[in-house]
Amino acid sequence: MRDKHKLAIHGGQPVRERYLPYGRQWIDEDDVQAVVDVLRGDYLTTGPELARFEQSIASYVGAKYAVAFANGTAALHAACYAAGISPGDEVITTAITFAATANCILYQGGIPVFADIEPRTCNVDPQSISDLITEKTKAIIPVDYTGQPVDLDAIRKIAADYNLVVIEDAAHALGATYKGQKIGSLSDMTMFSFHPVKQITTGEGGVITTNSTDYYEKLLQFRTHGITRDPTKLSLPGGPWYYEMQFLGLNYRLTDMQAALGTSQLQKIDRFIRRRQTYAGIYNAAFQPLRQLRLPYQSQDGVSSWHLYIIRLNLDQLTVGRREIFEALQQENIGVNVHYLPVYWHPYYQKLGYKKGLCPNAETLYEEMITLPLYAAMTERDVQDVITGVKKVVAHFAR
């Protein structure tokens, strides 16, 4: 049946000749030259470019400190360590996120507790967080889903009331603002990701921003095996060569090559985000008349940096389910995706004892959503191709 649907839609010709991915990096000659300059220099890793990149990120978001890591997952793991997450501690997070958000809790022996989402914003619901707090709760990891900031005022109030640490997963949200302030300076610790589909890239990479000197020092030491050379922290006197491993850290360092790329990319971030915002606006205007779709809701408290553009299908207005729509769009060479499977649906989490049904709003969202291509390197022709493909498929399957 699906093959017949595809043939009927296409008429033998897809909307695009070439496949359009849902996201990709935008690298120019300035970026290439920045990396080449490092390759011709004295340091390839943990050198001056790393410090420069960290300072640039901290300045951009308005935080006192930034500590870069090999990837966003490593950064989240380090944040959980710095927050003191230990075996048996509960950490509340959202069900709709990449698995790394919850995995970092497990790495420290903690217990992920999944809160439901707000149906409109698709961000974690503060009331659901509040309902799940127990005497074992140690921290909250909210996610700025798709680039839209969470309700930070409500979450920070909960954290203050119960003496909890807030580790904001802003992997999607570099450049976003909440009530006029940049995301990255408002929570105890904030993580940004620099994967190629994000607002800027270092290839792989992540960072934690914080205003806490204590967290900053723990993060630095954790990413380098738990080793320090700081004379004020050494347990024994030693020569200028002397260093100590004081706890079990990991090798989570970012290279100078990656840092140089990140610094170059950061100089263009405002332009990148403006293009994402413009394209999201074009999508909104084009899709608003379609009763088969629900478009992304944007809270008045925040300005999204638009990592993802997600449509929700009104399935009662369609003759088929999400899978048929998804596959038909792929046949049009539109690189759709789905973000994300509820974390506790993954087989590993099922084996840990989590059951389906924990977060009804999140599960409903998962069954209805499709991610459309959105990234700065797209052209307006690419955007119009996506619009044409979506309208074509929706019209074919409309009730």
Last residue of a domain, one of 239, 266, 293: 266
pTM: 0.96
* 226-228-234-237 Cα dihedral, nearest 10 degrees: 130
Closest CA to 21 of 391, 290, 376: 376
CATH number of the domain enclosing 58: 3.40.640.10
Q: What is the pLDDT of residue 11?
A: 61
pLDDT for the residue 1: 38
Shared domain for 242 and 347, answered yes or no, is: no
Question: Terminal CA-to-CA distance of the chain, rounded, Å?
Answer: 17
| Structural domain range at position 91 | 29-266
pLDDT at residue 4, rounded to an integer: 42
pLDDT of residue 214: 98
Q: Nearest Cα to 97, choosing from 190, 167, 170, 206?
A: 170
112 and 165 in a single domain? The answer is yes
| In the chain, % of residues over pLDDT 90 | 95
Task: Verify whether residue 4 is a known catalytic residue.
Answer: no
Asked if residue 178 and residue 87 are part of one domain, the reply reads: yes
346-387 confidence digits (pLDDT tens): 999 999 999 999 999 999 999 999 999 999 999 999 999 999
- The 3-state DSSP class for residue 212 equals coil
Same domain, 83 and 149: yes
- pLDDT for the residue numbered 188: 98
Which of 266, 290, 320 represents a domain boundary (last residue)?
A: 266
Residues 237 and 131 in one domain: yes
Query: Residue 20's domain is classified under what CATH number?
Result: 3.90.1150.10
The stretches in the chain having pLDDT less than 70 are 1-12
* 45 and 17 in a common domain: no
Assess whether 276 and 383 both reside in one domain. yes
Domain boundary (229, 251, 266) is at 266
Question: Domain tally for the chain?
Answer: 2
The answer to whether residues 161 and 299 belong to one domain is no
Q: Tens digit of pLDDT for each residue in 33-59?
A: 999 999 999 999 999 999 999 999 999
Q: How far apart are alpha carbons 182 and 392 in whole angstroms?
A: 38
Q: Please report the pLDDT score of residue 237 as a whole number.
A: 86
Residue 399 CB coordination number (10 Å): 10
Secondary structure class of 329 (helix, strand, coil): helix
Q: What is the pLDDT at residue 357?
A: 98
What is the sign of the dihedral through the CA atoms of 319, 320, 322 and 327?
Answer: negative
Round to whole Å and give the CA distance between 277 and 172.
14
Nearest Cα neighbor of 306 from 208, 199, 384, 206 is: 199
Q: Which of the following is catalytic: 6, 138, 182, 198?
A: 198
Tell me, rounded to whole angstroms, the distance of Cα 391 from its chain centroid: 28
Name every residue whose Cβ is closer than 8 Å to that of residue 264 and which is 6 or more positions away in sequence.
30, 31, 34
Q: Tell me the sheet residues that pair with 91.
A: 112, 139
pLDDT of residue 2: 45
Q: Are 329 and 300 in contact (CB under 8 A)?
A: no
